[in-house]
Structure 1
Amino acid sequence: MLKRIEAFGLQAGRTSDEVRSHSARYNTEYFPITIKEHLELLDKTGFAACELFWHSYMQSGFYAIKGRKMSNTNIQPIQAAHLERYAEIYAKAFSGEPWNDPWRVKDAAIHISEIMESRHSYGLEYVVNGEVAGFILGASMLFHYGRTFEINDLAVHPDYQRQGIASKLLERFLEDVKQQGIVGVHLITAAEGVLPPFYEKFGFKREQRVMLMGMETE
């Protein structure tokens, strides 16, 4: 196999020295690193956004933006006064990929307000230069084994996506609910695409014992 790789390298225009140097790396672990460690490394070296873009058996792709890092000081409790902005964000975010749902702003406002009105709801917003850029919202429910939290909405306005805001919101949110004594957190998301790996890097796992079922009434 190694000889075939070397022959291919020569055919591709590499010099003999380059081929020998490349072959010398075979079967050697230079820098074994997990996905979580890779993301932490990108974060520590000053990338404003660092997310897992795709993952296969032997390779991973990362999306990272070098620039000013956003601080958790931009995160604050959700506010009823910002309902219309949340609705605008929700409608625009969920009308795009991967959902492509035809949300109207007025319907999104009703959807969000119904969750906010729950006595057990909790949420955070992310503010950039005085403007709400994204939010996370849900509510808790008591079970025999303790109180669990369902994340209903995590949305970032398209103008602010790919800047690490969703990650910052989710990270802070999980810290907060743990302090509130929540024993578990769950959510519903797309079965394929970039969203499952996004949540998995925060510790979420696909449920094996339960499944989502539904029916149409019209």
Structure 2
Amino acid sequence: MIKNFEASDLRECAEIMMSVYNNEHWQCSWTLETAISYLHDYYDSKKFVGYTLWIDGVIKGAIFCHEKIWWNNTEVFVDEMFISPELQRQGYGTELLTVVEKYAKEHDLAGLTLSTNRFTPAPKFYRKNDFSDAEHVLFMYKEIS
């Protein structure tokens, strides 16, 4: 069952996020405190859109998004999405994306955008869900030491 995200879901979502990203694929080291803070920033966003995946009365995944205004349209940017590791590859991520797509259609938004790590299974998942590579976009980073 998919439900609208509520503030009371934050801790459980942070715990799931840690279980997804603190591994050899993603090589992250989230603590509960940093994960809660990170997700809370998205939730606090003025145009936040979020949903949780519930199975047997327990949160098992979530998607955090926001509406993003662009010069020629408004779209939904997927900031974060995660499914408990034991439930991945069973269609639950697609279910969450479908709910966000429905939201976008109901609000007459242009589409969904996101960024992800190219060296993980995530790009294959998103392509399977009809996302395409934006060849004109380059994600850049500058470290400040």
- Calculate the TM-score normalised by the size of structure 2: 0.93
- Shift, 1:98, TM fit: 2.2
Deviations 1:80-136 (A, max 9, x none): 111100110111111125212111111010000110011101011110111000000
- Cα distance in 2, alignment partners of residues 190 and 209 from structure 1: 17
Q: 1:158 to 1:193 in 2, by over 3 A?
A: closer
Counterpart check, 1:156 vs 2:78:
no
- Which residue of structure 1 lines up, in the alignment, with residue 42 of structure 2? 115
Classify the secondary structure of the residue corresponding to 2:63.
Answer: strand
- For residue 115 of structure 2, what is the amino acid of its counterpart? I
Deviation digits for residues 3-38 of structure 1 (CA, Å, limit 9, x no counterpart)? xxxxxxxxxxxxxxxxxxxxxxxxxxxxxxxxxxxx
Q: Distance in 2 between matches of 1:162 and 1:96?
A: 17
Equivalent residues, number: 145
**Percent sequence identity over aligned pairs:** 23
3-state SS of 1:196 partner? helix
- Unpaired segments ≥5 residues, structure 1: 1-73
Larger Rg: 1
Q: Residue by residue, what CA displacement relative to the aligned partner does 1:128-177 show, whole Å, maximum 9, x if unpaired?
A: 11100000011112111111221011111223333321121112221222
Residue 15 of structure 2 corresponds to 88
List runs of 5+ in structure 2 lacking aligned partners.
none
Q: 2:69 aligns with which of 126, 137, 142?
A: 142
Which structure has more relative contact order (CA 8 Å, sep 6+)? It is 2
Superposed structure 1 runs of 4+ greater than 4 Å apart: none
Letter in 2 for 1:106: E
Once superposed, what is the RMSD of the aligned Cα atoms? 1.4
**Who is 2:60 aligned against?**
133
Letter in 2 for 1:141: K
> Residue 115 of structure 1: SS of its match in structure 2?
helix
With structure 1 as the length reference, what TM-score do the two structures score? 0.63
Letter in 2 for 1:139: H
